[in-house]
A and B are shown apart, each in its own frame.
Chain A
Amino acid sequence: MDWLFSIAGGVLIGAASALLLLFNGRIAGISGIVGGVLSPARGEVLWRAMFVAGLVGAGVLFLQVAPEALPTAREDFGGRSLAMLVAAGLMVGFGTRLGSGCTSGHGVCGIGRLSPRSLVATGSFMLTGLLSVLVARLVMGGAA
């Protein structure tokens, strides 16, 4: 049954991304949208802030109806230390801006448009994602 929820969640993500293009004419790339709030240009801040508010708002709603869908307990992070999360966050923040996208912009919208850049980007982050989980598993002794 889990996979049904996964597919439904995926279709919802794809539909939302398409709606952002239809309504606002934009690509639903989360890192780009957040990055644009940090380096403000005229007329580019408010819609991005609203989109981020929606993302967080969805979390607030899920917390009411299905809190198990969100990471609320320490165990949900598989024993990751705060230092690891700081390192991870810095890499995700810098890397997504340098590479012009993350799982949403490259992985969903880019591949959906068959963009060669996004195919290369997605292959690249999948590769180091696999490797870093492998390394974390070795370092943490299977706790990851």
Chain B
Amino acid sequence: MRHLLSALLVGLLFGAGLALGGMTLPEKIVGFLDVTGDWDPSLLFVMGGAVLSYAALYRRIARREGPLFGASFQVPTNRRIDRRLVVGSLLFGAGWGLGGLCPGPALTSLATGATEVVTFVAAMLGGMFLFRVYEGALARRRAAQLHGWEVKQS
């Protein structure tokens, strides 16, 4: 129960940070990415503040045995820089610049009920769903190959 309340509280703080920093306004995102125009450094200040405060706190927290309301820390251990990481990030960046929204700010902005935000979030969930379908197809293909079955192309 406590882990649910803490997740809600952290979500609230995170969303408040996004809105306070102006990250919920597509013009701020595009203003940062648009280096040819009237450059807006806001995003740099937000990310700088976030990275530095997280880095300082991370060191202290990671020294603990485990989290307060959970069994253990679940921090990524994968260190492989592969094609998925790069291609996925390149694709994300293109969409980020095109729409002026990334997942966090899009969800916080959902509160406005604006058609643009609802459309973006629905498409984003659709993209995540498509990824699940793609992953499922890949896994089936791999399993079939592993068993020496012929993969029928449809």
Contact = CB atoms under 8 A, between A and B. Distances in A.
B27 to A, nearest CB: 6
Given A57-B12, A137-B37, A88 B51 contact: no
Interface of A: 2-3, 5-28, 30-31, 34-35, 38-39, 46-48, 50-63, 66, 69-74, 76-78, 80, 82, 84-104, 106-117, 120-122, 124-134, 136-137, 144
Given A76-B27, A86-B119, 7 more contacts: A15-B53, A19-B10, A34-B128, A47-B4, A53-B8, A78-B100, A112-B58
Contacts of B22: 2, 5-6, 9, 69
Interface of B: 2-27, 30, 33-37, 41-43, 45-55, 57-58, 61-62, 64, 66-76, 78-81, 84-104, 106-112, 114-117, 119-132, 134
A14 B116 contact: no
A98 B87 contact: yes
Contacts of A8: 20-21, 49
Contact of A70 (B14, B19, B128): B19
B19 A59 contact: yes
Contacts of B129: 38, 93
A22 B57 CA distance: 9
Contacts of A47: 3-4, 7
